[in-house]
Amino acid sequence: MSGKRNQRRTVMACIVAMACAMLPGQTYAQAGDAIGDAAQRLLALQASNAAAAPAQPMLGVEAGAAWKRYMKSFDTAIPTHYGSSFEDVGRPPDANQHDAD
């Protein structure tokens, strides 16, 4: 959840930076440079993880429910029409149709 929140914040910061970049009296080239600089700074901040919130613990009830959902995901077989398995590694693409026969 916090990953999506951080992504939204980054996108919003980029939008604000772009909106503020074109100030009166600036040319489009100058505004483009300002947008590029702001984007580079935002990407560097994201890559450095310097503004990240501290990790939050997952409480027992939520952790238990998440683990049950994870384990339940293995109850359903992956459909063969996805056409990929460890057996198919290294085979030519047309040879991967062995499950369809």
Specify if 25 maps to a domain.
yes
Specify if 55 maps to a domain.
no
Domain co-membership, 16 together with 36: yes
Specify if 53 maps to a domain.
no
Specify if 54 maps to a domain.
no
In angstroms, the CA 98 to CA 87 distance is 10
Domain co-membership, 8 together with 37: yes
Domain co-membership, 42 together with 8: yes
Per-residue pLDDT of the chain (101 residues; tens, 9 = 90+): 566 777 777 777 766 666 665 555 656 566 667 778 888 899 999 999 888 888 888 889 999 999 999 999 999 887 777 766 566 666 666 655 554 44
The b-or-e profile of 6-45 (16+ CB within 10 A means b, else e) is eeeebeebeeebeeebeeeeeeeeeeeebbeebbeebeee
Specify if 70 maps to a domain.
yes
Domain with 25 in it: 2-48
Q: What is the DSSP string of 44-93?
A: HHHHHTTTPPPPPPPPHHHHHHHHHHHHHTTSSPPPGGG---GGGTTS-G
Q: How many helices (H) and strands (E) does the chain have?
A: 3, 0
Model pLDDT, residue 29 = 62
Domain co-membership, 72 together with 42: no
pTM assigned to the model: 0.30
Give the count of domains, the chain.
Answer: 2
For the four alpha carbons of 84, 88, 89 and 92, in that order, the dihedral sign comes to negative
Domain co-membership, 8 together with 44: yes
